[in-house]
Structure 1
Amino acid sequence: MSEPVDPTDDGSAAPSLPPVAPHPGALEALEQKLLGARPHLTQEEVAEQAGITLDVARHLWHLLGFAHTAPGEVAFTDADVHALRLTSDLIGMGVLSQDRQDGLVRTWGRSFARLAEWEVALLGDIAAESGADPTDGLLAIADEVLPRVEALQTYAWRRHLLSAGSRLIAERESGSASTLAVCFVDIVGYTSQSRALTDRELVSWLEAFESAVLGITVDRGARIIKNIGDELLLVADDPAQMAEIALELTARGADEDDLFPAVRAGVAYGEVVTRLGDVFGPVVNIAARLTSVARPNTVLVDRGMHEALSEAGPGDEPDPEPEAASYRLRRLRRVSVKGYSRLHVWCLQQPRSA
């Protein structure tokens, strides 16, 4: 493995963006820049040169999120051959075993497709602001911008690998299962608010929301797993960390002087299944269900969180309102939601000294 890329040190001062000029074959030129050559191979030729079957090549291509190409269609380059050879190597090394292959490649495809859409829209906006056609502008700034974006992506990926690896090592050394506090945070009244915004305003509003949640989450040692529309899924190893995050988010949403939107949250604590950067299991489902029944600016928690925060044992009968050191947990009526009947539920509140 090569040394980590340092995106902040390329040995030269940061250049200004080049002047944008119209480009007559923008798509062809962009193919050349991004793929290293114009398409000149069919998928049959790519599979043959990579040493894998055509069926496997087509399957992987589709998993990455790309449409199937017609037999004999020239749509590929030597970069595609190299990518399939690397994939074949990973299969041979056991990294891409049959039971992991589809999920991992599909995750790559979805993640990079979303990232690429956002980056191209961003670069197109930059080009348009200079008064040029977005297509021509994208081509003009590709040489200056894309290598730096690529270096930053590699840097961020390696940093996240280190973080994930550290968590795995800690779990293995302690011999414990993946026990996490899982929280869903949902924007209240998203549909009605989004109708009053233009597309650009909506994107800006959601990005500001996600950035604020990210800052609060990371500062307290937790992490965002994904966003689902107007909802974010967070996890933390420490239930107290997640309690602080959920309370701060709802407090900000309740502050009329804060631009942060009103939110509601549901938190559950227990063992979860982790796969391809996502989390699954009853704990995740319960957190989602609690969010759906929470009132605006409130945090609902399950019995697992109650026990963790109040230090009640798993077999203890829950105290209706325990005197926890840092939180108030107000017992609510049991609730029945999809898949779960008569759940024990508590409303998490700021400590009395807050």
Structure 2
Amino acid sequence: MPGPDDDVPTAQQPALAATVDEIDAALLGGGRTHSARELAERAGIGLDFVSTFWSTLGLPHADPDDTYFSDSDAEAVDRAASLMRDHGLDLNTVITVTRALGHTSDRLALWQVEALVEDMASRYELDDATARLLVLDRLADLAPVLEAQLVHSYRRQLAAIAGRYAAEFGEIGRTGSEPGALPLARAVGFADMVSFTRRTAGLGSTDLSHFVQRFEAAARDVVTAGGGRVVKTIGDAVLFVADTPEAGARVALGLAETLGREIDVTSEQAAGGLAEGARGVTPVRVGMVWARVLSRFGDVFGPSVNLAARLTDIAEPSTVLTDVGTAAVLARDPRFTLTELPARELQGLGSVTPVRLDASTES
């Protein structure tokens, strides 16, 4: 396979040095030599479990006697079975854990491969099809590095969660929450880009990709610097959480103040970056609430999530809105100023009194 400095295919003459079977075998650790029925017999489990595992992973295969699976696939099924056999997890939990892997790894693989395509196209001045062929040619060499980084990142994230849980719930005999209450007290907020549709209507695929990447990267930087975590990004919006109301307020104000400036790409456009249509700043509207939430499936749920979203809808550009309950908690902190606004009717919530959150000029 070509190395970084070898000749690359041209747009006029695409080429693929490795066959699809060779790439497949390199990524899967060998050829596809097992059927689903054989995987079930090897793991000492029912065929239904194997079918459910692969369907939940997002990779269903209908024919149980087709030699579709590799040795590494068989090992994955063995590990899934061991979660029940050796660790006592029930089937529903194993399915949930597997679904999380499938959903996340599907998006992760696509995200990374598309980034590699853009890199090849830009670096070697290739058209999209040729860049994709070149990425295919180099996947086997890149995969071990990407895989090692994935494992490291995953373990660091697990360690971070363990640390947060230890700090929040580690006190022996601490008083629990009231029965039926959602389990986690969190600041939850949305930041929504203003006029996203209008600003991106004329952008081509490359400029649109760069624009969205800039927004996501800038949002994650601000959220992390403020002590929060990004739950998800949705094109022109970001959902974040923080462990304290003060951290949530810092994140919200940081997004409102910084994000438009972070995606001002005028200087980059002059240096060959985004096209004219993507120039200028795009402010965001932010809503943030401190309340209890349910954390499941890599997401957060609860009335406060809906309230934060509705407050975002009515916020002015580059401002932060919260509710009176959160404002009462933050009022003790001299770093923030809070201004109660007239009550508004919010969809699905009725009358709500929004409170504008600002950084104190004396802090």
Which TM class, normalised by the smaller chain length? 0.7 to 0.9
Q: 1:295 to 1:131 in 2, by over 3 A?
A: closer
The Cα shift of 1:266 comes to 0.6
The Cα shift of 1:253 comes to 4.9
2:239 alignment counterpart: 233
1:243 alignment counterpart: 249
Letter of the 2:21 partner, please give it: E
1:8 alignment counterpart: none
Letter of the 1:340 partner, please give it: L
- Matched-pair contact (CA < 8 Å) for 1:301–1:347: yes
CA displacement 1:296-347 (0-9 Å, x = unmatched): 2221101232121013xxxxxxxxxxxx612221111222323311123201
Answer with 251-260 or 295-304: which moved more.
251-260
CA displacement 1:262-293 (0-9 Å, x = unmatched): 10011010111122432211122211121122
Q: 1:140 to 1:55 in 2, by over 3 A?
A: same
Q: 1:25 to 1:148 in 2, by over 3 A?
A: closer
The Cα shift of 1:34 comes to 0.5
2:334 alignment counterpart: 325
Q: 1:257 to 1:145 in 2, by over 3 A?
A: closer
Answer with 151-160 or 125-134: which moved more.
125-134
Answer with 44-53 or 182-191: which moved more.
44-53
The Cα shift of 1:254 comes to 6.0
The Cα shift of 1:140 comes to 3.4
1:212 alignment counterpart: 218
Equivalent residue runs for 1:272-291 within 5 Å: 272-291=293-312
Q: 1:26 to 1:135 in 2, by over 3 A?
A: farther
The separation in 1 between residues aligned to 2:163 and 2:38, in whole angstroms, is 42
Does residue 190 in structure 1 map to residue 207 in structure 2? no
- Runs of 4+ more than 6 Å apart: none
Equivalent residue runs for 1:72-83 within 5 Å: 72-83=65-76
Answer with 273-282 or 197-206: which moved more.
273-282
Equivalent residue runs for 1:1-354 within 5 Å: 16=4, 19-20=7-8, 22-23=15-16, 26-94=19-87, 96-128=89-121, 129-130=123-124, 133-174=130-171, 175=174, 178-253=184-259, 258-259=264-265, 260-311=281-332, 325-353=334-362
- Matched-pair contact (CA < 8 Å) for 1:179–1:269: yes
CA displacement 1:243-264 (0-9 Å, x = unmatched): 1221222123566994452100
Q: 1:146 to 1:268 in 2, by over 3 A?
A: same
Helix, strand or coil at the partner of 2:68: strand
Helix, strand or coil at the partner of 1:76: coil
Q: TM-score, normalising length from structure 2?
A: 0.82
The separation in 2 between residues aligned to 1:75 and 1:254, in whole angstroms, is 49
Letter of the 2:91 partner, please give it: Q
Letter of the 1:122 partner, please give it: A
The Cα shift of 1:145 comes to 1.8
The Cα shift of 1:99 comes to 3.7
Q: 1:66 to 1:338 in 2, by over 3 A?
A: farther
Answer with 110-119 or 245-254: which moved more.
245-254
- Matched-pair contact (CA < 8 Å) for 1:299–1:348: yes
CA displacement 1:99-146 (0-9 Å, x = unmatched): 423332212111100111122223334444447734542343234322
The separation in 1 between residues aligned to 2:263 and 2:239, in whole angstroms, is 26
How many residues align structurally?
A: 328
Q: 1:288 to 1:114 in 2, by over 3 A?
A: same
Can you give the 5+ residue segments of structure 1 that lack an aligned partner in the other structure? 1-14, 312-323
Identity %: 30
2:276 alignment counterpart: none
- Matched-pair contact (CA < 8 Å) for 2:80–2:94: no
The separation in 1 between residues aligned to 2:137 and 2:302, in whole angstroms, is 48
Can you give the 5+ residue segments of structure 2 that lack an aligned partner in the other structure? 10-14, 177-182, 266-280
The separation in 2 between residues aligned to 1:58 and 1:245, in whole angstroms, is 43
Answer with 187-196 or 46-55: which moved more.
46-55
Q: 1:202 to 1:71 in 2, by over 3 A?
A: same
Helix, strand or coil at the partner of 1:272: strand
- Matched-pair contact (CA < 8 Å) for 1:29–1:139: no
Helix, strand or coil at the partner of 2:203: coil
The separation in 2 between residues aligned to 1:254 and 1:144, in whole angstroms, is 38
Answer with 145-154 or 95-104: which moved more.
95-104
The separation in 1 between residues aligned to 2:91 and 2:313, in whole angstroms, is 37
